[in-house]
């Protein structure tokens, strides 16, 4: 069982270790010559996406908060595919860093074609009245405000054929009483996706969202009590959480020409759970 740790958590303390290196994935040069920026790319879904993009031919920049060992490993995996990788350490809750990550990506890699907003904060609470203003506002700063701020900074560098992929959640559709702040922010991400897709369609920039069900990432043992970690993912029809490797292909689809007629869509790899409504 994973060792309890402080959020956002590190991969090395997880038991079992997640499958997040895309070892069996074979790319088809779907992103050849492209540059991608992935927020929250050091571990979990973000790591798998970075590696998948590299296997598809892209150079990759990614952000991370403080997990240096995880970030180095992700960069090593990208570079092992023969592609450049830029690590961007800092807190995306801060508006200036949201601008900085775009500028550094373009300055060091020359361009920007694909933006993946994936960074996330979550904290469980037993009762709504236990959520103080700091936690409420900080969750929005990370999960919603950073998405818009990074997108706004990226738009001057994006054009016809570019893609934005946001990470939502099944919790943003059906809600989750113990993850109230997280669920509300993910609902906001879904609507942000719908609205931006309409706003940017005339520029040829597609905006879509991946809304996973339970995924075994460092954020889970770092934010949930032991008893919930032990049962994590058992509620879905498949009876288990996904590994990040199972989620990353959805991002490849939305980032690549395979989804040229898709914008404003939410794709939910969730182990068989049916969305309400």
* Whether 158 contacts 204, CB under 8 Å: no
For residue range 122-144, list pLDDT tens digits in order. Answer: 898 999 999 999 999 999 999 99
* Residue 195: how many other CB atoms lie within 10 Å: 12
Q: Give pLDDT tens digits along the chain (277 positions).
A: 455 555 666 776 666 788 899 999 999 999 999 999 999 999 999 999 999 999 999 999 999 999 999 999 999 999 999 999 999 999 999 999 999 999 999 999 999 999 999 999 989 899 999 999 999 999 999 999 999 999 999 999 999 999 999 999 999 998 999 999 999 999 999 999 999 999 999 999 999 999 998 887 776 777 667 767 777 656 888 888 889 999 999 999 999 999 999 999 999 999 888 765 5
What structural domains does the chain harbor?
Answer: 30-267 (3.40.50.720)
Cα–chain center distance at 157: 20
Check 25, 64, 147, 182 and give the catalytic one: 182
Report percent pLDDT > 70 for the chain.
Answer: 90
For residue range 82-103, list pLDDT tens digits in order. Answer: 999 999 999 999 999 999 999 9
Tokens of 150: 């990074």
Please give the pLDDT value at position 3: 55
Tokens of 170: 């099944």
**Distance of alpha carbon 109 from alpha carbon 70, whole angstroms:** 21
For residue range 176-209, list pLDDT tens digits in order. Answer: 999 999 999 999 999 999 999 999 999 999 999 9
Concerning whether 261 is annotated as a catalytic residue, the answer is no
């Amino acid at each position: 069982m994973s060792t309890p740790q402080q959020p956002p958590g590190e991969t090395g303390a997880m038991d079992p270790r997640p499958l997040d290196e895309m070892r069996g994935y074979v790319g088809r040069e779907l992103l050849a010559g492209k540059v991608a920026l992935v927020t929250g790319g050091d571990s979990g879904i973000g790591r798998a996406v970075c590696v998948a993009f590299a296997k598809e031919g892209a150079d990759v920049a990614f952000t991370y908060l403080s997990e240096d060992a995880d970030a180095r490993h992700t960069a090593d995996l990208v570079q092992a595919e023969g592609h450049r990788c830029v690590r961007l350490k800092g807190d995306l809750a801060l508006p200036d860093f949201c601008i900085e990550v775009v500028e550094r990506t373009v300055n060091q890699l020359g361009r920007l074609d694909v933006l993946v907003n994936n960074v996330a904060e979550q904290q469980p609470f037993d009762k709504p009245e236990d959520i103080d203003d700091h936690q409420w506002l900080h969750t929005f700063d990370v999960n919603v405000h950073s998405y818009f701020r990074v997108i706004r900074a990226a738009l001057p560098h994006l054009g016809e054929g570019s893609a934005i992929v946001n990470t939502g959640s099944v919790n943003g559709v059906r809600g989750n009483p113990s993850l109230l702040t997280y669920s509300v922010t993910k609902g906001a991400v879904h609507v942000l996706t719908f609205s931006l897709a309409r706003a940017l369609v005339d520029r040829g920039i597609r905006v879509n969202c991946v809304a996973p069900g339970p995924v075994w990432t460092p954020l889970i043992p770092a934010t949930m009590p032991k008893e919930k970690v032990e049962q994590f993912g058992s509620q879905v029809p498949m009876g288990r959480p996904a590994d990040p490797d199972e989620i990353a292909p959805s991002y490849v689809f939305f980032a690549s020409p395979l989804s040229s007629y898709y914008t404003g869509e939410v794709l939910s790899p969730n182990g068989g759970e049916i969305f309400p409504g």
